Amino acid sequence: MKALVYHGPGQRGWDTVNDPTIIDQTDIVVRIDSSTICGTDLHILKGDVPETSPGTVLGHEAVGTVLEIGRNVSTVAIGDRVLLSCVSSCGRCRYCKEGHYGQCLGGGGWIFGHTIDGLQAEYARVPFADNSVYKVPDGLSDEQVLFLADILPTAYEVGVLNGMVSPGDVVAIVGAGPIGLAAILTAELFAPERIVAIDLADTRLESAVRFGANTTINNGREDALARVMELTEGLGADVAFEAVGVPQTFELATELIRPGGRVANIGVHGAPVTLHLEKLWIRNVTITTGLVDTFTIPRLMRLVASGRLDPSLFATHRFALEDTMDAYDTFADAASTNALKVVLQGSDRRPASPVSIAEVALV
C-alpha cells in the first residue's frame, strides 16, 4: 500500500510499504476512507517528538471501513464504517476503566502515527478495536465525523468540561487555531453570555466569528487584558482557555480571569512557564491541564447526528489521499492558504470481503 512515512526531521515521503495485517486478535484492519493532518504531525516532522522513529506512518485521525477482524473482536464487523480515535484504549487497565484512555497503561493512549503506524495511508491496523473505534451512524458523512477523532473532543474535554463552562459565562479563548475554534463550537453548547477569541492572525479571528465568537481581539495590535476588562466591568472572564502552547499565552490566560474563575490549559507546552502564584493565590483561581481521552466521542457523535454540532465547517481543503504530500504543504502554510483542516479522501480499492475473516481465523 501507499502511506505517508516520516523519515526523520524535515523529511517525509508518499511511499510503498507493507500492507497492514492482524497481529493481535483484538486488532482490526481498515481501509482508510478519509484522513486528515494535525499540527502535531508538523511537530513530529520538525523532530520535536523523539519517540516517533523514522519509518513510522503518520496520522492519528480517520474514518475507515473494516476489512478484517481479529478473533477476539466482538463489537465490530467487516464492512462497518468506523471513526478511528486519536487515542486507543486497552479497556482493561485502571485508567481505561476510569475513562482516562489518554493515560492507558496497557499499550493504548496516543499510539497512531506516534509509536505505531498511523492513519495517513490506504490501510491501517487498529489495535484494541472493541474499545477504540466508534461506529458511524448511517446518514452521517465522513466529513461530519472526521474531526471528532481529535480536535473536537480535545477542545470539549480539556477546555470546556475542565473549565466548567456554564450558562451566562464570559469565555475567553487564547488561540483561534483548529483547537481554539473547536472550543468555540463546544462552549456554545453551554449558552455562554459571550465568547471572546484572541489571536495574532486576523484570518484566524475571521474564522472565529464564523464559528460563533462574539468578540475578537488581535493581541498583536490591541491590549487583550484591557479589552476583556472593559467587556466584563473590570472583573475578567469567567473561564479562559489557553489553546496555543507558549508561555506568553498561558500567562495571558491567567491574567484574563476574574477572581474565582477557571483557566483550562489545552496547549501542548515545550518550554517552562512561569506561574504567577504571587498574584493568583488570593484570587481563588482554578487551573486545569490535560491530555485528551476522547471519552466524549459518542456524545459528540450524537450531537452531530441531531444537528446540534457541525464540525464539517473545519474542512477547508480536500485532496485525494495519494496527494497527501501536497496536502501537507497546504496545511503547513496555513498563514497564506487559510487552511483549518485538510481532508484526505481515499479511493475504494480493496472491497470488504468476508473471506478475510476466515483467513484471520486460521492464524
Ligand X SMILES: NC(=O)c1ccc[n+]([C@@H]2O[C@H](COP(=O)([O-])OP(=O)(O)OC[C@H]3O[C@@H](n4cnc5c(N)ncnc54)[C@H](O)[C@@H]3O)[C@@H](O)[C@H]2O)c1
Q: Which residues bind Zn ion (CB under 5 A)?
A: 38, 40, 90, 93, 96, 104, 106, 108, 150
Which x/- pattern, by CB under 6 A, does the window 165-184 give for ligand X?
---------xxxxxxx----
Query: Based on CB atoms, which residue is closest to ligand X, 30 or 266?
Result: 266
**266 scored as a contact of ligand X (CB under 6 A):** yes
* Euclidean distance between CA atoms 258 and 232, whole angstroms: 9
> Residue 153 class from Cβ within 10 Å (0-12 exposed, 13-18 middle, 19+ buried)?
buried
Among 20, 118, 267, 311, the residue binding ligand X under the rule CB under 6 A is 267
> Does residue 89 interact with ligand X by CB under 6 A?
no
Q: Does 213 bind ligand X (CB under 6 A)?
A: no
Binder of ligand X out of 45, 158, 173, 256 (CB under 6 A):
158
104 sits near ligand X (criterion: CB under 6 A): no
Residue 93 binds which one of Zn ion, ligand X, none, with CB within 5 to 8 A depending on kind? Zn ion
CA dihedral (228, 172, 49, 92) positive or negative? positive
Closest to ligand X by CB, 28 or 158:
158
Which residue in this structure is represented by grid cell 491501517? 124
Asked if 305 interacts with ligand X (CB under 6 A), we say no
- Count of beta carbons in the 10 Å neighbourhood of residue 278: 7
74 class by beta-carbon count within 10 Å (0-12 exposed, 13-18 middle, 19+ buried):
exposed
Nearest Cα to 57, choosing from 297, 321, 343? 321
Instruction: Kindly tell me which of 136 and 264 has the beta carbon lying closer to ligand X.
Output: 264
Which helix or strand (DSSP H or E) is residue 15 part of?
strand 12-16
176 binds, among ligand X, Zn ion, none (CB under 5 to 8 A by kind): ligand X
Choose between 31 and 204: whose C-beta lies nearer to ligand X. 204
The total of other beta-carbon atoms located within 10 Å of residue 161's CB is 18
Binding-residue pattern over the window 220 to 249 for ligand X, x denoting contact by CB under 6 A: -----------------------xxx--xx
Q: In the set 23, 105, 191, 268, which binds ligand X (CB under 6 A)?
A: 268
Residue showing cell 471501513: 65
The least distance separating ligand X from the CB of residue 20, rounded to whole angstroms, comes to: 25
- Helices 224-231/247-256 angle, 10° precision: 20
* CB-based contact 113:41 (threshold 8 Å): yes
Select the residue whose beta carbon is closest to ligand X and give its number: 177
Give the list of residues 6+ apart from residue 307 with CB closer than 8 angstroms, or none: none
Q: State whether residue 325 is helix, strand or coil.
A: helix
254 binds ligand X (CB under 6 A): no
* 99-127 core/surface letters (b: 16 or more CB in 10 A; e: else): ebbbbbebbbbbbbbbebbbbbbbbbbbb
Choices 21-29, 118-126, 266-274, 297-305 (CB under 6 A): range interacting with ligand X: 266-274
Contact window for ligand X (CB under 6 A) among 44-52, 59-67, 198-206, 227-235: 198-206
DSSP assignment of 132-167 equals HEEEPPTT--HHHHGGGGTHHHIIIIIIIITTT--T
- How near is the Cβ of 266 to Zn ion at its closest, in Å? 12
Toward Zn ion, which CB reaches closer, 150 or 199? 150
Residue ranges in contact with ligand X by CB under 6 A:
39-40, 154, 158, 174-180, 198-201, 204, 219, 243-245, 248-249, 266-268, 290-292
